[in-house]
């Protein structure tokens, strides 16, 4: 009798343990660590949340860092990893060098890593290096985007004229890539000349003043490329204030509601939208496939395309999904 | 018994209250030197303008002067508030984010009233929004002041805390997105000019003439931006408060020697609270002005470092971080120096990296002049 009871107890304990293990396998826990509090990452989170809900993944979102940089991001990231119950982290590294050891440590604890939007090292995780441990880089090709903008802007101004780049920070890989892509992109049109490349440090007032100054020097300026929300807002405001709406074409990056509205009013002529929602969604989807079946991501790289808004398609119902929203 | 060194310092403080250069100092060489050193920032600014105008004739034009003044409006207000705080011996790191907080709150109110379309005319939405921004913008200053004056938190820490809080609240309100879709009239006020002159349509007040030809648009002369008028009025009011009133003199006294100020019967805590509220108020004015200029409310980006530019302008303008010294006039010249440098460098095409170096050099030079020639600069 006693033996039977003990036997039953042992069996039930084993069963309970097994059941517990199975249950733990059922829901994966992923963490998303954004780069900075801005519309782009908010939209990325939205895409990730939707996919996580669909796949039954539990998604934990790290606190949004207030400033761009490892000093702000690393403490939050390490706290996330220290929870100990997370299977996969996808994050936008705020420094291509400083985040290598931090993410490596997380990887060595058995947590898989995906980098989104920005990368570590040079972003190529297929070759032999000390930064090839992430499962993949999922993000926009900023260089290519800059080129797309350059070619569209060159066409808009009729293949000739002076253009300028209103950039933000000379030390952030994404916007530097856009600037470089643009610079190379206009080389395809010999009539187009780049007359200035300014940096406003995310200060739209400064962006406005800089575009105003370049316009003062080059009254025949034909086009401006604002590489992110703040440089774009400053740039189009400068052109509107000069009374040259439409005469100077304004191309911008990132589809906030305000920029889309400016496009509708004709104050902006082109808006290139990245697909942050899709980046978030892809990270969860491929992370899930990897955790569940061990499926590898081809070439360790996924690049969702862009969507280019112009006056002609801005009201299309299909286009509305690419506008960044809360 | 006030020790003689302290007494001398008090006199120095009183001297700096004089806001205009003393022309009678031309009498002899020493006085001439003193005049040059005392006004070196202004002289440097004039030389800089000559330099840029020679290299790039387009620099010397009404349009460009407007550009520089408009680009300086926000920093002028922030630096004016910072001047009060620095003279009182403190520092306010939160000004840039109070500006963003006020911009976001006032834009949110405008957007709410306007979008509801409940029969509110545009001016009502705008006035309500501006008032909301200005009133809410007083709160961070009040908190800063109470922390510094009543609880003796070092100003650096108290306002550094507010730096994060103000921006956190601002981002919470706007969700990281610019608050836009405001009444169109906002932009017309913020970007308007007192008068326009065009050879085609003649002179017109407030109303921008409709021009279609690019050459005509570029030739349009615009006189006195509305935003600059607003800033000038505020600067004159606060410049007079600092230089001509008892409140201003007490500010210098507290910064010069806080013990002496207490002994002479000044209610120092109360005065300091008011000082931080002034700083916060001027920052809110800057925020509301940004809403009027951009027809949207943005939170301040951490990378924008408004507070550092404001502090640098105040120091270049002759104030001492030890307190007791500085003028609104000096600060205005300091802001315009940095503003002209920025625009001038863009126009002559100097790479951005050299600009950072130049601003750094000028800042250090300003403090050096102060250290090397303290008597020439500050004693009559």
CATH of the domain at A44: 3.40.50.2300
- Same structural domain, A136 and A281: yes
Binned at pLDDT 50, 70 and 90, residue B261 comes out as: very high
Cα B155 to Cα A101, B22, B95, B266, B285, distances in angstroms:
37, 34, 13, 20, 22
Question: Is the confidence at residue A176, as pLDDT, over 50?
Answer: yes
A314 lies in a domain?
Answer: no
Binning chain A into helix, strand and coil, the percentages to the nearest 5 are 50, 20, 35
With a pLDDT cut of 70, the percent of chain B lying above it is: 89
How many other CB atoms sit within 10 Å of the CB of residue A66? Answer: 15
* Residue from A203, A222, A230 to probe the interface with B (highest B Cβ count within 10 Å): A203
Adjacent-strand bridge partners of A164? A196, A224
Question: Order of strands across the sheet with B202-205?
Answer: B202-205, B193-198, B221-225
Cα A53 to Cα A22, A29, A321, distances in angstroms:
20, 12, 19
Among A22-26, A179-183, A264-268, B203-207, the minimum mean pLDDT is found in A22-26
Binned at pLDDT 50, 70 and 90, residue B176 comes out as: confident
Chain B hits for A202, CB-CB cut-off 8 Å, are 301, 303-304
- Same structural domain, A135 and A210: no
Sign of CA dihedral B174, B129, A255, A73: negative
- Looking at this predicted complex, what is its ipTM? 0.82
B115 lies in a domain?
Answer: yes
Binned at pLDDT 50, 70 and 90, residue B217 comes out as: confident
B175 lies in a domain?
Answer: yes
* Residue from A162, A198, A209, A264 to probe the interface with B (highest B Cβ count within 10 Å): A209
- Same structural domain, A248 and A284: no
**pLDDT score of B208:** 81
B16 lies in a domain?
Answer: no
- Same structural domain, A289 and A256: no
Chain A contacts to B (CB-CB under 8 A):
37-39, 42, 64, 66-68, 168-170, 196, 198-199, 201-206, 208-210, 212-214, 216-217, 219, 229-230, 233, 237, 240-244, 247, 256-258, 261, 324, 326
Question: Is the confidence at residue B21, as pLDDT, over 70?
Answer: no
Q: Do B67 and A212 touch (CB under 8 A)?
A: yes
A6 lies in a domain?
Answer: no
B306 lies in a domain?
Answer: yes
Cβ neighbours of residue B236 under 8 Å, at least 6 residues apart?
A: none
Cβ neighbours of residue A116 under 8 Å, at least 6 residues apart?
A: A44, A90, A91, A92, A137, A138, A139, A279, A280, A283
Chain A hits for B306, CB-CB cut-off 8 Å, are 203
Q: Do B346 and A243 touch (CB under 8 A)?
A: no
CATH classification of the domain holding B128? 1.10.3470
- For residues A94 and B303, give the distance between their C-alpha atoms in angstroms, rounded to a whole number: 14
Q: Do A66 and B178 touch (CB under 8 A)?
A: no
Closest residue to B178, CB basis, from A212, A217, A256: A256
Nearest-10 crossing angle of helices A99-108, A70-82: 0
Question: Is the confidence at residue A321, as pLDDT, over 50?
Answer: yes
Question: Is the confidence at residue A107, as pLDDT, over 80?
Answer: yes
Chain B hits for A66, CB-CB cut-off 8 Å, are 164, 167-168, 171, 302
Residue of chain A whose Cα is closest to the Cα of B70: A209
**pLDDT score of B126:** 94
**pLDDT score of A244:** 92
Binned at pLDDT 50, 70 and 90, residue A8 comes out as: low
Chain A hits for B168, CB-CB cut-off 8 Å, are 66
Sign of CA dihedral B340, B341, B345, B351: negative
Question: Is the confidence at residue A155, as pLDDT, over 90?
Answer: yes
Which tops the pLDDT comparison, B314 or A69? B314
**Number of domains present in the structure of chain A:** 2
- For residues B266 and B225, give the distance between their C-alpha atoms in angstroms, rounded to a whole number: 40
- Same structural domain, A269 and A280: no
* Residue from A201, A241, A256 to probe the interface with B (highest B Cβ count within 10 Å): A241
A313 lies in a domain?
Answer: no
- Same structural domain, A261 and A156: yes
Cα A144 to Cα A34, A47, A157, A187, A305, distances in angstroms:
23, 23, 20, 14, 10
Residue by residue, DSSP assigns B336-363 as HHHHHHHHHHHHHT--HHHHHHHHHHHH
- Same structural domain, A95 and A129: yes
- For residues B82 and B307, give the distance between their C-alpha atoms in angstroms, rounded to a whole number: 9
How many other CB atoms sit within 10 Å of the CB of residue B4? Answer: 8
Closest residue to B177, CB basis, from A205, A240, A256: A256
**pLDDT score of B1:** 40
Range of the domain at B157: 35-378
A221 lies in a domain?
Answer: yes
- Same structural domain, A102 and A147: no
- Same structural domain, A269 and A178: yes
A160 lies in a domain?
Answer: yes
B20 lies in a domain?
Answer: no
- For residues B188 and B193, give the distance between their C-alpha atoms in angstroms, rounded to a whole number: 9
Are residues A165 and A183 in contact, defined by beta-carbon separation less than 8 angstroms? yes
- For residues A213 and B67, give the distance between their C-alpha atoms in angstroms, rounded to a whole number: 7
Q: Is B118 helix (H, G, I), strand (E, B) or coil?
A: coil
Minimum distance, in Å, between the CA of residue B359 and any CA atom of chain A? 15
- Same structural domain, A134 and A205: no
Chain A hits for B64, CB-CB cut-off 8 Å, are 213, 216
B30 lies in a domain?
Answer: no
Question: Is the confidence at residue B107, as pLDDT, over 90?
Answer: yes
Chain B hits for A219, CB-CB cut-off 8 Å, are 218
B39 lies in a domain?
Answer: yes
- For residues B359 and B306, give the distance between their C-alpha atoms in angstroms, rounded to a whole number: 14
| Average pLDDT over all residues of chain B | 87
- For residues B231 and B190, give the distance between their C-alpha atoms in angstroms, rounded to a whole number: 11
- Same structural domain, A82 and A165: no
Chain B hits for A256, CB-CB cut-off 8 Å, are 177-178
* Residue from B218, B221, B293, B295 to probe the interface with A (highest A Cβ count within 10 Å): B218
Are residues A287 and A30 in contact, defined by beta-carbon separation less than 8 angstroms? yes
**pLDDT score of A141:** 87
- Same structural domain, A153 and A98: no
**Number of domains present in the structure of chain B:** 1
Which tops the pLDDT comparison, A12 or B306? B306
Closest residue to B167, CB basis, from A66, A202, A261: A66
- For residues A122 and A141, give the distance between their C-alpha atoms in angstroms, rounded to a whole number: 12
| Average pLDDT over all residues of chain A | 88
B137 lies in a domain?
Answer: yes
Question: Is the confidence at residue B18, as pLDDT, over 60?
Answer: no
- The predicted-structure confidence for B88-100, as pLDDT tens digits, reads as follows 999 999 999 999 9
Q: Do B217 and A39 touch (CB under 8 A)?
A: no
- For residues B34 and B379, give the distance between their C-alpha atoms in angstroms, rounded to a whole number: 9
A78 lies in a domain?
Answer: yes
Cβ neighbours of residue A109 under 8 Å, at least 6 residues apart?
A: A81
Range of the domain at A292: 28-140+276-304
Average of per-residue pLDDT across B293-317: 90
Question: Is the confidence at residue B333, as pLDDT, over 60?
Answer: yes
Q: Is B89 left (phi over 0), alpha (psi -120 to 50) or beta?
A: left
Cβ neighbours of residue B47 under 8 Å, at least 6 residues apart?
A: none
Cβ neighbours of residue B307 under 8 Å, at least 6 residues apart?
A: B78, B82, B92, B93, B94, B95, B96, B97, B163
């Amino acid at each position: 009798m006693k033996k039977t009871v003990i036997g039953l107890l042992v069996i039930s304990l084993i069963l309970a343990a097994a059941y517990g293990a199975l249950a733990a396998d059922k829901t994966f826990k992923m963490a998303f660590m954004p780069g900075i509090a801005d519309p782009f990452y908010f939209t990325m989170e939205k895409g990730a949340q939707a996919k996580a809900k669909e796949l039954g993944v539990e998604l934990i979102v790290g606190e949004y860092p207030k400033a761009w940089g490892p000093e702000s991001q690393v403490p939050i990231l390490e706290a996330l990893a220290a929870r100990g119950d997370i299977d996969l982290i996808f994050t936008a590294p705020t420094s291509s060098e400083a985040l290598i050891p931090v993410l490596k440590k997380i990887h060595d604890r058995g947590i898989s890593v995906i980098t989104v939007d920005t990368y570590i090292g040079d972003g190529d995780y297929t070759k032999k290096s000390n930064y090839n441990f992430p499962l993949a880089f999922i993000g926009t090709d900023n260089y290519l985007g800059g080129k797309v903008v350059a070619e569209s802007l060159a066409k808009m101004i009729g293949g000739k004229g002076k253009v300028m780049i209103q950039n933000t920070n000379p030390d952030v890989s994404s916007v530097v890539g856009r600037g470089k892509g643009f610079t190379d992109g206009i080389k395809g049109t010999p009539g187009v000349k780049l007359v200035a490349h300014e940096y406003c440090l995310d200060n739209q007032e400064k962006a406005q003043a800089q575009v105003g100054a370049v316009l003062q020097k080059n009254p025949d300026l034909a086009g401006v490329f604002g590489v992110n929300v703040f440089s774009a807002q400053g740039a189009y405001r400068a052109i509107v204030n000069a009374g040259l709406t439409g005469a100077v074409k304004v191309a911008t990056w990132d589809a906030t509601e305000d920029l889309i509205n400016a496009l509708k009013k004709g104050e902006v002529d082109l808006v290139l939208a990245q697909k942050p929602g899709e980046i978030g969604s892809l990270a969860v989807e491929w992370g899930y496939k990897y955790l569940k079946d061990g499926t590898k991501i081809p070439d360790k790289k996924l690049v969702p395309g862009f969507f280019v808004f112009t006056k002609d398609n801005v009201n299309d119902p299909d286009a509305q999904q690419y506008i960044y929203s809360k | 018994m006030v020790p003689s060194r302290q007494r001398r310092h008090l006199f120095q403080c009183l001297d700096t209250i004089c806001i205009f250069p003393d022309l009678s100092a031309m009498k002899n060489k020493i006085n001439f030197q003193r005049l040059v050193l005392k006004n070196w920032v202004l002289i440097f600014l004039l030389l800089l303008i000559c330099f840029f105008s020679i290299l790039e004739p387009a620099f010397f034009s009404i349009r460009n002067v407007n550009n520089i003044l408009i680009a300086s409006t926000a920093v002028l207000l922030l630096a004016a508030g910072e001047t009060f705080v620095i003279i009182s011996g403190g520092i306010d790191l939160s000004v840039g984010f109070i500006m963003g907080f006020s911009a976001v709150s006032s834009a949110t109110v405008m957007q709410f009233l306007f979008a509801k379309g409940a029969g509110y005319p545009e001016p009502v939405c705008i006035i309500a929004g501006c008032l909301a921004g200005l009133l809410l913008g007083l709160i961070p200053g009040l908190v800063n002041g109470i922390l510094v004056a009543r609880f003796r938190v070092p100003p650096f820490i108290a306002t550094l805390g507010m730096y994060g809080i103000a921006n956190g609240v601002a981002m919470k309100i706007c969700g990281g997105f610019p608050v836009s879709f405001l009444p169109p009239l906002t932009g017309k006020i913020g970007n308007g000019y007192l008068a326009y002159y065009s050879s085609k349509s003649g002179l017109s007040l407030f109303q921008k003439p409709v021009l279609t030809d690019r050459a005509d648009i570029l030739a349009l002369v615009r006189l006195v931006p509305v935003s600059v008028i607003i800033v000038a009025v505020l600067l004159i009011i606060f410049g007079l408060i600092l230089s001509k009133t008892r409140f201003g003199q007490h500010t210098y006294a507290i910064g010069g020697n806080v013990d002496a100020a207490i002994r002479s019967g000044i209610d120092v805590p109360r005065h300091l609270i008011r000082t931080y509220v002034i700083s916060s108020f001027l920052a809110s004015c800057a925020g509301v002005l940004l809403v009027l200029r951009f027809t949207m409310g943005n939170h301040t980006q951490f990378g924008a470092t408004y507070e550092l530019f404001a502090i640098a302008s105040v120091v270049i303008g002759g104030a001492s971080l030890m307190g007791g010294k500085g003028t609104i006039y000096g600060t205005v010249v300091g802001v315009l120096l940095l503003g002209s440098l920025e625009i001038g460098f863009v126009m002559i095409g100097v790479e951005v990296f050299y600009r950072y170096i130049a601003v750094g050099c000028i800042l250090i030079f300003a403090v050096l002049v102060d250290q090397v020639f303290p008597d020439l600069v500050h004693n009559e």
